[in-house]
């Protein structure tokens, strides 16, 4: 039986692995696809302290080397569900079954895609799902924000302080966002609202975004708007279906300050938990705390 | 008026500075002594993800360069107190006065020193105040733990899994630590208790710890015990006297998940707040969250 199974090999999971190895916990990290998680597809990261500018893949390689250097076992498999046998956590995976005293869920979250032409190929080349991460790359330039909720409008206001011009494209004529956020967006002189409109295509030249094709749903007219960046905020889905703990209405796992979930010995870190900010820096802090708490939990563990 | 004053230039404060600069907040960081904080005196850090092994000073130089590269203003001064003028935070400093919409307290905490000969000079050369940080350096070697509270006994158990031999020196014959922790320490075959004893001196050869002189208080006999490391856990003092927010009985600032204190617009990050783990990784996560929350607070700020 493992002391600890970590599910997910992004920054939170790898940090938990680093700490667990240092605590001599018998640990395995299970990754479904690719070590590094969402951040590994980021072109440039400039806000993980210590690395003023590094590619997402480059940073995650360093994390992985760090963890493996301490002897962390990483295996590729998918966890289908977790059940309890007394206090033992039984993980059913595609390849079989694992038993552990404690589990850290570090499965992250994925932004919802629009599915328009250009979106996938240009992610990291002008298409972004995170203003905090990528906004500063668009200083003095033109960007488009897609979405009508709180996040879209808040991030448009944030971007309006960096970019020269911000378009907000929303398919309805009314916004779901809080009135307060909307007032701030309306007050920003460089934000232009394109309501009852949808983004149909993102266009590139020399491999980077140069324009967005937007359709006015009332007139059915299609127009190319020159922009350097397109920020898409149409929702985010945490990968938490496989674990039956308390979650909020969007599926983000609820934790307290110790990052324990509603089931003792199961912890959640990073983007998959209910947290005010989804960043490498915060996932790292979470991973360290959860592994530390696991150390105490395992020390006191009784099978039933 | 500043949007944000950050008090303290350790990992939490510098991370908040990095994020605040990226959000274009008008920010100043006030440091009392030396940028980098407590961690800058650590010889080696091996658990900040991305840097498998780096000196504390080296890591903090990277943080400082990162923050300054983004234009963060750093000033050397001491904050004496914070009062409110409406919602404006007024900071009285040794050099004058500063006004800000928001404040992030990142002043850290200092372990209490014993004050014995050798302690100060050998800090980072075998003398440590953090088992999570430095324990793995003593794999298979002998260490001494000083103290009788929960932390001392818990950390002795943690160290017993790494070190070949652990002595616990405590000046009383009874421990204050929880019975559960004590039972685990008693069960560890490689932990030896030296009660009614005090550490009198830490001895070095070639600049690293080689022995500890311990006095048996009942017999007044002094004995040199060969050890490679001395871990001192006799308490930790957060630097929070200057700010009048809700704190726990030890002076650690209480916050919720958003890191806001009991005064709106004042946030606390890192070692000075009530948190389960005092690490660079966790201070970094805190700094990012607090700066992000400040961005929203400043956006909605009204002077009264």
Q: Chain A window 40-99: which residues touch B at a Cβ cutoff of 8 Å? A: 46-52, 59, 62-63, 65-67, 69
* A272 is a catalytic site residue: no
How far does Cα B6 stand from its chain's mean position? 17
Chain B interface disruption, residue of A40, A49, A68, A132, most B CBs within 10 A: A49
Say which of A15, A59, A180 has its CB closest to residue B281: A15
What is the interface pTM, i.e. ipTM, of the complex?
Answer: 0.87
A103 φ/ψ angles, rounded to the nearest 5 degrees? -135, 135
Nearest Cα to Cα of residue A244 among A260, A259, A216, A266: A266
Query: Can you tell me whether residue B128 is helix, strand or coil?
Result: strand
Domain range B2-110+236-299, its CATH number among 3.50.50.60, 3.40.630.10, 3.90.1150.10, 3.30.70.141: 3.50.50.60
Domain range A113-232, its CATH number among 3.60.15.10, 3.40.30.10, 3.40.50.720, 3.50.50.60: 3.50.50.60
Same fold? B2-110+236-299, B113-232:
yes
Question: Taking the CA atoms of chain B, what radius of gyration do you get in angstroms?
Answer: 21
Say which of A48, A49, A65 has its CB closest to residue B11: A49
User: Kindly report the CA angle at B216 between B210 and B220, in degrees rounded to 5?
Assistant: 115
Q: Which two tokens stand for residue A225?
A: 């708007």
Q: How many other β-carbons are positioned within 10 Å of the β-carbon of residue A222?
A: 12
Nearest CA in chain A to B68: A52
- Angstrom distance (rounded) from CA B288 to CA B248: 23
* B272 is a catalytic site residue: no
Q: Are A202 and A114 in contact (CB under 8 A)?
A: no
Chain A residue numbers with beta carbons less than 8 Å from the beta carbon of B3 are: none
Q: Are B211 and B201 in contact (CB under 8 A)?
A: no
Which residue reads 């997402």 in tokens? A56
Answer yes or no: is pLDDT of A262 > 90: yes
- Angstrom distance (rounded) from CA B51 to CA B59: 8
**Cβ of B22 and A257 within 8 Å?**
no
* 3-state secondary structure labels for all residues of B185-250: HHHCCCEEEECCEEEEEEEEECCEEEEEEEEECCCCEEEEEECCEEEECCCEEECCCCCCCCECCC
Q: How many other β-carbons are positioned within 10 Å of the β-carbon of residue A254?
A: 13
What's the pLDDT tens digit per position in A63-103?
Answer: 999 999 999 999 999 999 999 999 999 999 999 999 999 99
Which residue reads 């998680």 in tokens? A37
Answer yes or no: is pLDDT of A41 > 80: no
Distances B240 to A125, B4, B107, B237 between C-alpha atoms, Å: 45, 18, 7, 9
Which residue intervals of A188-279 are DSSP H helices?
A: none
pTM: 0.88
Which residue intervals of B93-136 are DSSP H helices?
A: 131-134
**Cβ of B284 and A281 within 8 Å?**
yes
- Angstrom distance (rounded) from CA A179 to CA A6: 41
A35 φ/ψ angles, rounded to the nearest 5 degrees? -60, 140
Q: Kindly tell me the burial class for residue B276, based on how many C-beta atoms sit within 10 Å of its own C-beta (0-12, 13-18, 19 or more).
A: middle
What's the pLDDT tens digit per position in B170-221?
Answer: 999 999 888 878 999 999 999 999 999 999 999 999 999 999 999 999 999 9
Shortest Cα–Cα distance, B82 to chain A (Å): 26
> Which of the four pLDDT bands, split at 50, 70 and 90, describes residue A215?
very high
Shortest Cα–Cα distance, B108 to chain A (Å): 16
- Domain map of chain A by residue range? 2-110+236-299, 113-232
What's the pLDDT tens digit per position in B241-286?
Answer: 999 999 999 999 999 889 999 999 999 999 999 998 999 999 999 9
> Which of the four pLDDT bands, split at 50, 70 and 90, describes residue A180?
confident
> Which of the four pLDDT bands, split at 50, 70 and 90, describes residue A178?
confident
Q: Beta A88-93 vs A97-105: how paired, if at all?
A: antiparallel
Q: Are B102 and B4 in contact (CB under 8 A)?
A: yes
* B173 is a catalytic site residue: no
């Amino acid at each position: 039986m493992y002391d600890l199974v970590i599910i997910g090999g992004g920054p939170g999971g790898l940090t938990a692995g680093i700490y667990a190895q240092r605590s001599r916990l018998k640990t395995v990290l299970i990754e479904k696809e690719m070590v590094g998680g969402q951040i590994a597809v980021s072109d440039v990261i400039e806000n993980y302290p210590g690395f003023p500018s590094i590619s997402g893949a480059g940073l995650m390689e360093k994390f992985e080397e760090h963890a493996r250097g301490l002897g962390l076992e990483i295996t590729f498999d998918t966890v289908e569900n977790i059940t309890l046998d007394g206090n033992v956590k039984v993980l059913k995976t595609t390849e079989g079954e694992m038993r552990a005293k404690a589990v850290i869920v570090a499965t992250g979250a994925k932004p919802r895609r629009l599915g328009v032409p250009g979106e996938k190929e240009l992610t990291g080349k002008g298409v972004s799902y995170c203003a905090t991460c990528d906004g500063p790359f668009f200083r003095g330039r033109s960007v488009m924000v897609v979405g009508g909720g709180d996040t879209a409008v808040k991030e448009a206001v944030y971007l309006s302080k960096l970019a020269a011009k911000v378009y907000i494209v929303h398919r309805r004529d009314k916004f779901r966002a809080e009135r307060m956020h909307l007032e701030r967006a309306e007050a920003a002189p460089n934000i232009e609202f394109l309501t009852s409109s949808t983004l149909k295509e993102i266009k590139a030249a020399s491999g980077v975004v140069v324009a967005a094709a937007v359709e006015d749903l009332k007139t059915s007219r299609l127009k190319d708007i020159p922009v350097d960046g397109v920020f898409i905020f149409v929702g985010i889905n945490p990968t938490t279906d496989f674990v039956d703990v308390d979650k909020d209405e969007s599926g983000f796992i609820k934790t307290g300050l110790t990052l324990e979930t509603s089931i003792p010995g199961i912890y959640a870190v990073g983007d998959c938990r209910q947290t005010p900010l989804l960043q490498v820096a915060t996932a790292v802090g979470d991973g360290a705390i959860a592994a530390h708490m696991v150390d105490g939990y395992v020390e006191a563990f009784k099978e039933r």
